[in-house]
Amino acid sequence: MVRTSARTPSTKRKRGATRPLIACVFGTRPQLIKVASVWQLLSQQSRLLLIDSGQHYDHAMAGTFYAGKRIRTPDINLGIKAKSAGSQVARIAAALDPVFTRRRPDAIVTFGDTSTTVGAAIAAAYQNIPVAHVEAGLRSFDLRAAEEKNRVLTDHLSRWLFCPTQTAIANLKNEGITRGVFGVGDVLCETFREVQSRATPNDLFTSFGLTDGDYYLVTCHRAETTDNPERLRELVTVLEDLDRPTLFAVHPRARKNLIRQRLWQRLKRVKTLHLVAPFDHESTIAAIAGAKAVLTDSGGVQREAYWSRVPCLVLRDRTEWVELTNCGAVRVVGLNLTRVRNALRTRWSIRTTRDTHFRKHNASQKIVQILLRELTSR
Ligand code: UD1
């Protein structure tokens, strides 16, 4: 069901007729975080259409961003819910098609690597509406993962590719994409700095009886782990083995599958483990800041741990953020107990990354500047 708020750009069209109409499409928690850094700048210089696919619908996953007024209410909520990634992509593209026909945006902006990212890119590309991809060029080189398919497809459909790192630019070049590629840095960085200034872990310490620097934070939600019973059991074994109090912020997908595999009760028996609902963004950043180490399969949490200078263990077999492994901030340990133990026992020396793009702190400004220049010079 497509819900449209009364506040649509068409009502403003007459007043700002010369300004381009740009549609930002998002739907998951990490995308809401990224949109939070660009939407205000975009709305100062363009007519902005905010479209939420509805992919994440829980209050903990999406609602807190609207409640905290980090994003204004979207103009359109597609309300898409689907059982598989494939049907999610198809339904998002199908729901956007009439929206794009009606509104004819001059460009669409899509973020990251989710079903919403590629659904938006497909719908726009079939109407020859130019696509801007924020966080372009990242690769894990594992096409079995939905996210990798989404990245590759979206990049190949995009006119403007905004890359966070030099590696991302090189990845695109290897696939023959060199036009419209811009190294702008990471939009997440700005949001992180803004949120970090008011995030304090004190409430967490009180609520869970934790001590600063003496607990672990765990997040895990990727389908490659949570939808694979064997890997899910390995995750539980890792969690049972941790030698300190641990906060496990449980994503709905992980929770559902832990219950289905009868592993939830096993986790509840671990005395040092606090099983909590997903935190809002501010609490996540606070929890990272106070942790001794973070164990995660999330791309965003890896970068936030690096900016917080907190050791980060990646519970996957690879990472797209090789800059972070190169500077000693991240170690890829998979779900291997020995590698997890070793990583937690050894000393970490976290250096500043050498990647000149990743070191930039004004990605959203650059993206908006480039996009507006490109759209107004056509
Ligand atoms: C999606 C993205 C992933 C991203 C992650 C961030 C895809 C293919 N995956 O994964 O790249 O890192 O978001 O969180 O797009 N669910 C709820 N409440 C919600 C959201 C989801 O209960 O608010 C449930 C859904 O019903 C579904 C499961 O969680 O059963 C998975 O949700 P889905 O949006 O398909 O993928 P994520 O695992 O969140």
Q: What is the pLDDT of residues 349-366, one digit of tens each?
A: 999 999 999 999 899 999
Query: Is the CB of residue 63 below 6 angstroms from any atom belonging to ligand 1?
Result: no
| Mean pLDDT over each residue of the chain, to the nearest integer | 93
**250-277 average pLDDT score:** 96
Domain 19-185+359-376 matching CATH 3.40.50.2000: the answer reads: yes
- What local confidence, expressed as pLDDT, does residue 14 receive? 46
Place 161 in a pLDDT band, splitting at 50, 70 and 90: very high
Q: What are phi and psi of 24, to 5 degrees?
A: -100, 125
Query: Is the CB of residue 71 below 6 angstroms from any atom belonging to ligand 1?
Result: no
Alpha-carbon span 148 to 207, nearest angstrom: 38
- How many whole angstroms from 17 Cα to the centroid of ligand 1? 37
- What local confidence, expressed as pLDDT, does residue 204 receive? 82
Question: What sign does the dihedral 28-353-313-191 (CA atoms) show?
Answer: negative
Residue with tokens 């009886």: 209
Q: List CB contacts of 8: < 8 A, sequence separation 6 or more.
A: 49, 75, 76
Query: Is the CB of residue 302 below 6 angstroms from any atom belonging to ligand 1?
Result: no
Closest CA to 160 of 307, 40, 277, 20: 20
Q: Is residue 158 within 8 Å of 180, Cβ to Cβ?
A: yes
- How many whole angstroms from 252 Cα to the centroid of ligand 1? 8
Q: What are phi and psi of 356, to 5 degrees?
A: -65, -30
Alpha-carbon span 147 to 118, nearest angstrom: 9
Q: What are phi and psi of 280, to 5 degrees?
A: -75, 170
Query: Which residue type does 211 have?
Result: T
Q: Is 155 left (phi over 0), alpha (psi -120 to 50) or beta?
A: alpha
Beta strands, E only, the chain: 3-4, 21-26, 47-52, 76-77, 107-111, 131-134, 160-163, 181-183, 216-220, 246-250, 273-276, 293-296, 312-314, 330-332
Q: pLDDT over 70 for what percent of the chain?
A: 95
Q: pLDDT over 90 for what percent of the chain?
A: 86
> Which residues are catalytically annotated?
221
- What local confidence, expressed as pLDDT, does residue 15 receive? 47
Q: ∠162-163-166 over CA atoms, to 5°?
A: 150
- What local confidence, expressed as pLDDT, does residue 53 receive? 98
State pLDDT tens for residues 168-200. Answer: 999 999 999 999 999 999 999 999 999 998 888
Same fold, 19-185+359-376 and 201-345: yes
- Residue from 35, 55, 83 whose mutation best tests the ligand 1 pocket (most atoms within 8 A of CB): 55
Place 201 in a pLDDT band, splitting at 50, 70 and 90: confident
- How many whole angstroms from 162 Cα to the centroid of ligand 1? 24
Domain boundaries in the chain?
19-185+359-376, 201-345
Query: Is the CB of residue 29 below 6 angstroms from any atom belonging to ligand 1?
Result: yes
- What local confidence, expressed as pLDDT, does residue 17 receive? 58
- How many whole angstroms from 253 Cα to the centroid of ligand 1? 6
Alpha-carbon span 332 to 113, nearest angstrom: 20
Beta strands, E only, 115-159: 131-134
Place 89 in a pLDDT band, splitting at 50, 70 and 90: very high
Query: Which residue type does 22 have?
Result: I
Residue with tokens 């949120």: 195
Q: List CB contacts of 292: < 8 A, sequence separation 6 or more.
A: 213, 214, 215, 216, 244, 310, 311
Output the pTM of the full model. 0.93
Residue with tokens 């995660």: 296
Query: Is the CB of residue 292 below 6 angstroms from any atom belonging to ligand 1?
Result: no
Instruction: Give me the CATH code for the 201-345 domain, please.
Output: 3.40.50.2000
Whether the predicted pLDDT of 10 surpasses 90:
no
How far apart, in Å, are the Cα atoms of 51 and each of 3, 69, 211, 224, 322?
10, 16, 41, 28, 32
- What local confidence, expressed as pLDDT, does residue 12 receive? 43
Nearest CA to ligand 1 atom 31: 253
Place 165 in a pLDDT band, splitting at 50, 70 and 90: very high
CA atoms within 13 A on the CB side of 133: 34
Query: Is the CB of residue 147 below 6 angstroms from any atom belonging to ligand 1?
Result: yes
DSSP result, 39-68: HHHHHHHSEEEEEE--S--SIIIIIHHHHT
State pLDDT tens for residues 11-27. Answer: 344 444 589 999 999 99
**212-237 average pLDDT score:** 96
Alpha-carbon span 281 to 63, nearest angstrom: 11
